[in-house]
Each structure stands twice: as C-alpha cells, then as structure tokens.
Amino acid sequence: MASYNRVVLLGNVGKDPEVRYTQGGDAVVSVSLATSEKWKAKDGQKQERTEWHRLEAWGKTAEVVRDYVKKGDPLLVEGSIRYEEWEKDGQKRFTTKIRVSTVQLLGSRRDGTDRNGGEDRKPSQAAPVKDAFIDDEDVPF
C-alpha cells in the first residue's frame, strides 16, 4: 500500500525567520506559523483556537523565506510532517515540524507594492517556489 505525507497550511508568521547554514553553505530557515479556527459554541459564544506550527525550509525555499517573509505576513505552505526525538538531561523530548517544500507569499509588501507581479494579479496566481530534497547525510546537526 502506498503512503502520503503532505500538509498544507495557511496562516500568519509568528516571528521573523531564524536562519542558519549547513557546512556546505545551504540556507536552513525556521519560522513559526499560526493557524486559527473560529466557531460558535452551543451557547452562542464565539470561540477561537490558534495552533502554532514549526516550519523548516531548506535551500532555495529557505532563501525566499529569509529574504521576503517577516513577522505577521500571511503565508501558504506545503510540506511534510517530521517528528523528532532527542534526549536532554536524561529526559526524552519530542517536537513536530513541517518540512516546507513549497511556499507562497500572500498579501502585499511592507512598501505597499504587490508581491505577486502587479496590482492585477491575485495572490492565488503567484508561482510557488519548489525545493529539492536534501538527504539527511547533508545535514551537519
């Protein structure tokens, strides 16, 4: 049986991207993304829940995020779920990350110009940036 690990998220960036580089000079970017859902409870009260997602982008995709994404920006990403486990001070720690393969910048730049090629283009028409896979052997940490 085939399997499929794909995530699509649309949300707002929680803080400016953190950039680091591999020994080979490739960019690796970490950024948080908030997604929210809103609903009305049975008693009529409005409810909202925000989920925070840890994103990690590599290579060309990381460079785009590094150069164009800032805190508060709307962002559409596609990628895969990665679960990581490590030990610190004798205790097991766990985290979940989204390895970003495609990123789409939405909205307008801070200088008021459209990111997507002009005033007539809609954000949904922006071309996504795709990243090549990097083997775990290429990662120095």
* Cα angle for residues 78, 84, 89 (degrees, 5° grid): 150
Give the confidence band of 111 by pLDDT, cuts at 50, 70, 90: low
Tokens of 3: 């399997």
Does the pLDDT of residue 134 top 50, yes or no? Answer: no
Does the pLDDT of residue 90 top 80, yes or no? Answer: yes
Q: What is the CATH number of the domain that holds 122?
A: 2.40.50.140
| Assigned domain for 53 exists | yes
- Residue 22: what pLDDT? 92
Q: 49-79, pLDDT tens digit by residue?
A: 999 999 999 999 999 999 999 999 999 999 9
Of 1, 7, 69, 57, nearest to 30 by C-alpha is 57
Give the confidence band of 107 by pLDDT, cuts at 50, 70, 90: confident
How many domains, the chain? 1
Taken as a whole, the chain contains a residue count of: 141
Tokens of 126: 């922006």
